[in-house]
Amino acid sequence: MSDNVNTGIQWRPTASNDALIKRARLLAQVREFFALRRVLEVDLPVLGERTVSDPHLDSLSTEGSQHYLQTSPEYYMKRLLASGSGPIYSLGKAFRANDRGRQHNPEFTLLEWYRPGWDESQLMAEVADLLQDVGCAPNAVAQRVTYRDIFLATVNLDPHRASLAQLVQLASDIAQRNMRGESRATCLDLIFSFEIEARLPPGVVFVHDYPECLCALAQLGVDGQGVTVARRFEVFLDRTELANGYFELLDANEQRQRFSEDNRQRKIMGKAEIAADEKLLAALDEGLPSCAGVALGIDRLLMHLVGAQHIDEVIAFSS
């Protein structure tokens, strides 16, 4: 099918009919999965007064009213958890400015869920169940590997104990430019994204026990070697990053500190500071139940299910 031959205006969907049918089926499967497990679907605002302070995320804001399109439903979900919602999931749109590429569209579909009383290990098992249920790698067993082991196996460096100089050296080799002055976190992200991700085993792979400097909103713990690690995991499906989960940070004061640290970083990066979400902090003050949470990119999962090379092939109308 071609677009209008006279005007050349490309009005047709970017996704095939087959991809749209598979999308509808996937959304139904996800809802059924959680209905059977008695996890409540919550339908949350995409337009909010506050947004994340994460220096690596840029929110889209609305003109005039100073609201933000949400980069994830996380803060709303935590307020629900603190008010006693029990296990909840959200399946909806999220927005991230400037994210555009083969696997990124500024507007995308995010599945996020929280399990009060669970830790990240239990949640990883549930993610594996979900992936199996929707037809991913039906016969493959999900593998788990620590961030340390995959680093050691691939680049022969211990990510927790390597010196900053060693990380900068390796990052510079990969980037083909001098990365001196960059942080541990940036070097680790670079090494992982370019050197390790592409060499992960195929199928479903859980990478867990992240370095402390990559903790984001995860609690810290101590691993078998006595090293402080972030209780965070990422899920890879055929070497594509699919989901990111935490044993969630509960401490309101720690959260306050991370907000101000984010803003300090934003300032260095020349980005506008983001006011802390006081309602989230008040909810945390009241008490968030111990829980594990994960966010999973539905479009990427769909790319895998239909064998798409570009995210545009699974989105009816890409941005």
Cα 209 versus chain centre, distance = 15
CA distance 89 to 293: 9
- What is the closest distance, in whole angstroms, from the C-beta atom of residue 167 to another protein in the complex? 13
- Cβ atoms of 246 and 208 within 8 Å: the answer is no
CA distance 220 to 227: 10
CA distance 232 to 319: 31
Quick one: which of 152, 194, 222, 286 contacts another protein (CB under 8 A)? Answer: 194
Number of chain positions touching another protein (CB under 8 A): 29
CA distance 68 to 47: 6
Residues 50-79 that bind another protein (CB under 8 A): 54, 56
Q: Which stretch binds another protein (CB under 8 A): 36-44, 60-68, 151-159, 176-184?
A: 176-184
Look at strands 291-297 and 204-211 and give their pairing: unpaired
Quick one: which of 189, 223, 238, 254 contacts another protein (CB under 8 A)? Answer: 189
Establish if 181 lies at the interface with another protein (CB under 8 A).
no
Establish if 212 lies at the interface with another protein (CB under 8 A).
no
Quick one: which of 175, 227, 250, 281 contacts another protein (CB under 8 A)? Answer: 175
Which alpha helices (DSSP H) does 17-98 contain, by range? 17-36, 74-82
Q: Which is nearer to another protein, 194 or 317 (CB)?
A: 194
Paired residues of 122 in beta bridges: none
Quick one: which of 6, 10, 17, 177 contacts another protein (CB under 8 A)? Answer: 177
- What is the closest distance, in whole angstroms, from the C-beta atom of residue 33 to another protein in the complex? 21
| 130 HSE (CA, 13 A, CB side) | 33
Q: Which stretch binds another protein (CB under 8 A): 21-29, 142-150, 153-161, 182-190?
A: 182-190
Establish if 99 lies at the interface with another protein (CB under 8 A).
yes
Q: Which is nearer to another protein, 6 or 98 (CB)?
A: 98
Quick one: which of 134, 243, 249, 305 contacts another protein (CB under 8 A)? Answer: 243
- Write out the E strands in the chain: 40-41, 47-48, 60-61, 68-69, 88-95, 107-116, 143-146, 204-211, 220-222, 228-237, 240-247, 291-297
Quick one: which of 149, 223, 241, 285 contacts another protein (CB under 8 A)? Answer: 241
Q: Which stretch binds another protein (CB under 8 A): 1-9, 23-31, 93-101, 146-154?
A: 93-101
Q: Which is nearer to another protein, 22 or 160 (CB)?
A: 160
Residues 268-287 that bind another protein (CB under 8 A): 269-270
Residues 100-129 that bind another protein (CB under 8 A): 100-102, 104
Establish if 186 lies at the interface with another protein (CB under 8 A).
yes
Residue 8 class from Cβ within 10 Å (0-12 exposed, 13-18 middle, 19+ buried)?
exposed
Q: Which is nearer to another protein, 186 or 319 (CB)?
A: 186
**Local structure of 300: helix, strand or coil:** helix
Closest to 94 (Cα-Cα) out of 126, 153, 47, 35: 47
Look at strands 88-95 and 40-41 and give their pairing: parallel
| 34 HSE (CA, 13 A, CB side) | 21
The contact set with another protein (CB under 8 A) reads 54, 56, 98-102, 104, 174-177, 182, 185-186, 189-190, 192-194, 214, 216, 232, 234, 241, 243-244, 269-270
